[in-house]
Structure 1
Amino acid sequence: MSGVSLAVAPRSEPAGSDETTTTKLQGKPLQQEGVTGGVMGSLRVIELQLVAFIMVFSASGLIPLLDIVFPAFATAYLIALSRFAFPSRCRIATGTSSPEIFQGSRLFRFYVVVGTTLGLFLPLAYVLGGFARGDEHAVRSATPHLFLLSFQILTENIISGLSLFSPPVRALVPLLYTVRRIFVIIDWIQDVWLNKTLPANAVLQDIAWFWFGRGLAAANFVYFSINLFGFLIPRFLPRAFERYFSEKDEVHAKIEEDKYSVAMNKSKQSDKKAD
């Protein structure tokens, strides 16, 4: 997915591919699978589902104002970075979207699947189960995390297909959202570990549900902390900057080559006129 995709390489087309260019010109959707393509299925369907999630969460009154404002701030900041700090070089060099930032192995794909399950599917089941059980505390504690994760996935999916955004800007999407979600998950942990207690006469089903909520919050904190400090910062972000400056060098080399070609053509034309 993302965010869990978290940092997984955005979708892309190989640079300089004639087939890719032809497909774009014909207006046909390009069928390519990124690191998480097989996990998430049809991107269009998922984007519609995420929009639905976001609308429902926003209207539920369960999302703090700060978390509602954060996606707008993050989007404006990313657009500013793409315009003033890290403008895209890929459009100039190849005319296509940037290639994938990080190519994952099978083990990495399994890591992504685990993150998808812990970050999206199980919390969604927890929220829906909270609605079914009338457990408003569970719903309120996990919903902000789902809201921000849904926005993160939607943002990553949108900008990964736009050449407007350079690799550093694309890499900052999961980084910004993951940092914010870790603080949200800490609040979630506080809710289920400190502010929620079991009644003395709780049945086995209530006990299992109580510890499921606690375990899920703790597992999300561990996973996304490892993802942030063990992958996004030390590996994913440097790889994005490395690719960006490599593209920048290619652009400069192409400009110099074009200048040399123009100068040679002018020289040949002058020699012909002299003859």
Structure 2
Amino acid sequence: MSGGIGPCSDIHLQKEKEEQTAAVTEVAGKPARRGFLSLRQLNVLAVMMVLSASGMVSMEDLGFVVFSIIYLYFISKAAFPQTTPPWTGSVFGQNNRTLRLYMLTSAVIGLLLPVAYIFEGIVEGDKEGIKAAVPHLFLLGSQVFMEGVASTERFSLPVRVFVPVFYNAKRIFTLAEWLRSEISKESSGRRLYVGRGLAVANMAFWCFNLFGFLVPVYLPKAFKIYYSNHKHNN
């Protein structure tokens, strides 16, 4: 989501390229080898902290994130341990242009546009008007952060799959609440139409992502790879 441009732009662009490659391999099911926190994780962590400090994030959503961390480590030990040696392939292959375009679309619709909408509302003092949009953005940021945690070789492929499925399912409910809130508004103006458009676009996109991609496509392929590899190693 960010990159430096300056006198040493070729170095910065190389770092940005590595970040983009890591982002694709995480969603594609390939563990990324990097430091403890990537630039992308630090970005979304900053957004999460700002939203939490605003007082618009409920204790239920904070508790959900804490539970996801605990459950992630639980299933990695109890149900889906990492194979030996760890599987380091990619579910959808290397340099998948369709996947890159899909991820870019998800980042724009789900993260960048809602960030701009919410922060504009904070600047204009429309805290009540953006309140319903905050849970989606907070949980999506938490999902991105947790995907980074789960993408290391410490966790098996089914555990990495668990993160987007778990969070996407939760966010469907927050998106439904956001959409109801936008429709019930009686005001008019640019922000009203922008808010409604974002709510509708996110509801449509993330419903498709869960029911049209993660569950019928990504989940079966990931489990097939995991159990085939597990059987081969045994």
Pairwise TM-score range, normalised by the shorter structure? 0.7 to 0.9
Match of 2:92 among 80, 94, 102: 102
Match of 1:139 among 122, 130, 143: 130
In structure 2, C-alpha distance between the alignment counterparts of 1:63 and 1:173, rounded to whole Å: 20
Task: Name 1:33's counterpart in structure 2.
Answer: none
Give 2:98's aligned amino acid.
L
Match of 1:166 among 156, 168, 185: 156
In structure 2, C-alpha distance between the alignment counterparts of 1:62 and 1:83, rounded to whole Å: 34
Task: Name 1:224's counterpart in structure 2.
Answer: 206
User: Aligned-pair distance for 1:113?
Assistant: 1.2
User: Aligned-pair distance for 1:6?
Assistant: 11
Give 1:84's aligned amino acid.
A
Runs of 4+ that moved beyond 6 A: 4-7
Task: Name 1:208's counterpart in structure 2.
Answer: 190
Identity of counterpart residues, as a percentage?
36
Structure-1-length-normalised TM-score? 0.71
Is the Cα contact below 8 Å between 1:179 and 1:228 reproduced in 2?
yes
Matches within 5 A, 1:105-254: 105-161=96-152, 163-194=153-184, 196-198=185-187, 207-252=189-234
Is the Cα contact below 8 Å between 2:168 and 2:206 reproduced in 1?
yes
User: Aligned-pair distance for 1:64?
Assistant: 1.4
Cα RMSD after superposing both structures:
2.4
Query: 1:132-176 CA deviation, whole Å, 9 max, x = no partner?
Result: 222112321111111111110011012202x22111111010000
Structure-2-length-normalised TM-score? 0.82
Is the Cα contact below 8 Å between 1:126 and 1:138 reproduced in 2?
no
Is the Cα contact below 8 Å between 1:10 and 1:157 reproduced in 2?
no
Is the Cα contact below 8 Å between 1:57 and 1:143 reproduced in 2?
yes
Match of 1:9 among 28, 33, 57: 28
Query: 1:13-57 CA deviation, whole Å, 9 max, x = no partner?
Result: 6xxxxxxxxxx8xxxx59xxxxxxxxxxxx722222222222222
Unaligned runs of at least 5 residues, structure 2: 2-19
Matches within 5 A, 1:82-97: 82-89=76-83, 92-93=84-85, 96=86
In structure 2, C-alpha distance between the alignment counterparts of 1:6 and 1:150, rounded to whole Å: 18
In structure 2, relative to structure 1, the CA distance for the partners of 1:140 and 1:64 (3 Å cut) is same
SS in 2 for 1:86: coil
In structure 1, C-alpha distance between the alignment counterparts of 2:125 and 2:24, rounded to whole Å: 32
Unaligned runs of at least 5 residues, structure 1: 14-23, 31-42, 253-275
Query: 1:219-261 CA deviation, whole Å, 9 max, x = no partner?
Result: 0000000000000000101111011112112211xxxxxxxxx
Is the Cα contact below 8 Å between 2:109 and 2:198 reproduced in 1?
yes
Question: Does residue 92 of structure 2 align to residue 73 of structure 1?
Answer: no
In structure 2, C-alpha distance between the alignment counterparts of 1:56 and 1:71, rounded to whole Å: 16
Larger radius of gyration: 1
SS in 1 for 2:38: helix
